[in-house]
C-alpha cells in the first residue's frame, strides 16, 4: 500500500517541505534509506544522514534547521519520534491484517467467533471456545476447549492455549508460547506421583507475551497475569503465580509457584524467584538476581544471588573483587603469627 506525503502530513498534522506527491510504501532507517521509504530524524547524532539518505520522505521536528540541500521531502511535526511511532503502529496494523477463516483450519461447531476474526491454515479452535471481535489467530495455533479470547487479540503462529484459560482484550502472544500447561507438582512421598493440575490461566487486557514462554495452569484456582503485564521471550511462570498490573519481566525470568509479584515491577534478564514469596509494588531486580526471600518494601532495588539491596551489594562487591588479595594478606599474617609464637616459646 502506498501513501503520499500529503496523506501522511494530514494524518500527523504536519507541514510539508518538498514534493507533496512523493510516495512511500515502506519504512527505513535514515542511515541508508531507500527510494519509496519513509524515515525520521529525532536524535541530533543522526543529523548528518538526512543529507545523504535515499528515503523519499523524512519526518523531522518543527525546529529542525537544514545546513545543506536535502533530497528527501520533509514533514515537520511537533515530535518526530512520536509521529514516527504512530506511523509504525499503523503500518504494523496494515501489515498484520488478515481476512477470513481458512478452509484448512478447524473450528468446532460449538465455538463462537466474533466479527472480523482471522483464523489461519491448520489452526484449531476447540469446543465451546469464545473468540472476540477482530481477533487474529495465525496458522498452527491451538485454542482449547472453553477458552475465552477478548477483542483485538493476536495469537501468532504456533501458540497453544490449553482448555479453560482466559485471554483478555488487546493482547499479543508470540509464536511458540504455551498457556495453561501443567504446573510442576509431584507427590514425592508417594513415589513422585503426579498431582493433577485442574486450575487455569487468566491473562488481563493489553498483555504481551514474547515467543516461547510457558505459563503453567494453577493446581487449583488461577495463574494470573494482570492488565498490562509484559513478558519477554523465554519466560517461565509457574502454577498459581500472580503478576499484578503493568509489571515487566525480561528474557529468561523464572518465577516459581504461588509467588505474588506486585504492580509496576521491572525484572531484568535471567532473574529467578523461588516459590511462595511476595514481591512489593515497583520493585526492580537487576540481571541474574536470585530472590529467595519476600521483598515487602515498595520501590526496592535489588541485585545479586541471593539478592540484596543494591547499595549493600555494591559495597560488598568491592570486597568480592579484593577477596583474593585479602586471603593472601590473612595467610601472610597467620604465617607471621605462627613464627612469632614459635620464637616466644623458645
Query: What is the Cα–Cα distance from 336 to 158, expressed in whole angstroms?
Result: 68
164, 146 in Cβ contact below 8 A? yes
Residues 6 or more apart from 79 whose CB is under 8 A from it?
42, 61
Alpha carbon distance 228, 203 (integer Å)? 9
Marked catalytic residue, from 236, 239, 252, 276: 239
Terminal C-alpha separation, the chain: 98
Which residues sit opposite 5 in a β-bridge? none
Three-state DSSP at 134 gives coil
Distances (CA, A) of 193 to 94, 169, 188, 239, 292: 50, 38, 7, 17, 27
Cα–Cα dist 12/78, whole Å: 9
Q: Name the grid cell of 339.
A: 613464627
Report the run of H or E that residue 214 belongs to, with start and end: strand 214-216
DSSP string, 27-89: E--TTT--TTEEEEE-SGGGGGGGGT---SEEEEETT---SS---SEEEEES-HHHHHHHHHH
Q: Is 319 an annotated catalytic residue?
A: no
Owner of C-alpha cell 497475569: 225
Q: How much helix, strand and coil, in percent to the nearest 5, is found in the chain?
A: 20, 30, 50
- Which of the 8 DSSP states describes residue 303? E
- Report CA dihedral (137, 141, 146, 147) to the nearest 10 degrees: -60
Which of 293, 284, 240 lies closest to 262 in space, CA to CA?
284
Q: Which three cell numbers stand for residue 121?
A: 491454515
Active site residues: 239
Amino acid at each position: 500500500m502506498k501513501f503520499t506525503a500529503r496523506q501522511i502530513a494530514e494524518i500527523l498534522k504536519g507541514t510539508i517541505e518538498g514534493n507533496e506527491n512523493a510516495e512511500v510504501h515502506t519504512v527505513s532507517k535514515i542511515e541508508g534509506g531507500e527510494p519509496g521509504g519513509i524515515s525520521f530524524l529525532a536524535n541530533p547524532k543522526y543529523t548528518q544522514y538526512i543529507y545523504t539518505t535515499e528515503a523519499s520522505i523524512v519526518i523531522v521536528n518543527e525546529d529542525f534547521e537544514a545546513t545543506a540541500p536535502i533530497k528527501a521531502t520533509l514533514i515537520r511535526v511537533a515530535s518526530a519520534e512520536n509521529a514516527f511511532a504512530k506511523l509504525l503502529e499503523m503500518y504494523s496494523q496494515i501489515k498484520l491484517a488478515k481476512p477470513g477463516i481458512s478452509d484448512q483450519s478447524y473450528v468446532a461447531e460449538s465455538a463462537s467467533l466474533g466479527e472480523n476474526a482471522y483464523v489461519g491454515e491448520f489452526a484449531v479452535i476447540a469446543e465451546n471456545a469464545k473468540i472476540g471481535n477482530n481477533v487474529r489467530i495465525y496458522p498452527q495455533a491451538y485454542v482449547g476447549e472453553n477458552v475465552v479470547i477478548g477483542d483485538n487479540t493476536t495469537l501468532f503462529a504456533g501458540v497453544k492455549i490449553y482448555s479453560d484459560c482466559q485471554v483478555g482484550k488487546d493482547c499479543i502472544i508470540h509464536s511458540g508460547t504455551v498457556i495453561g500447561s501443567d504446573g510442576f507438582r509431584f507427590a514425592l512421598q508417594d513415589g513422585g506421583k503426579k498431582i493433577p493440575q485442574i486450575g487455569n490461566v487468566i491473562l488481563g487486557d493489553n498483555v504481551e507475551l514474547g515467543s516461547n514462554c510457558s505459563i503453567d495452569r494453577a493446581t487449583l484456582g488461577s495463574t494470573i497475569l494482570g492488565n498490562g503485564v509484559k513478558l519477554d521471550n523465554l519466560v517461565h511462570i509457574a502454577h498459581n503465580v500472580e503478576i499484578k498490573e503493568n509489571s515487566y519481566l525480561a528474557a529468561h525470568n523464572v518465577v516459581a509457584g504461588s509467588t505474588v509479584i506486585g504492580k509496576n515491577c521491572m525484572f531484568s534478564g535471567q532473574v529467578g524467584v523461588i516459590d511462595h514469596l511476595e514481591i512489593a509494588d515497583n520493585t526492580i531486580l537487576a540481571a541474574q538476581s536470585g530472590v529467595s526471600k519476600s521483598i515487602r518494601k515498595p520501590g526496592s532495588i535489588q541485585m545479586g544471588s541471593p539478592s540484596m539491596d543494591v547499595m549493600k551489594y555494591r559495597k560488598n562487591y568491592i570486597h568480592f573483587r579484593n577477596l583474593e588479595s585479602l586471603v593472601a594478606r590473612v595467610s601472610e599474617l597467620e604465617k607471621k603469627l605462627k613464627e612469632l609464637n614459635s620464637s616466644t616459646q623458645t
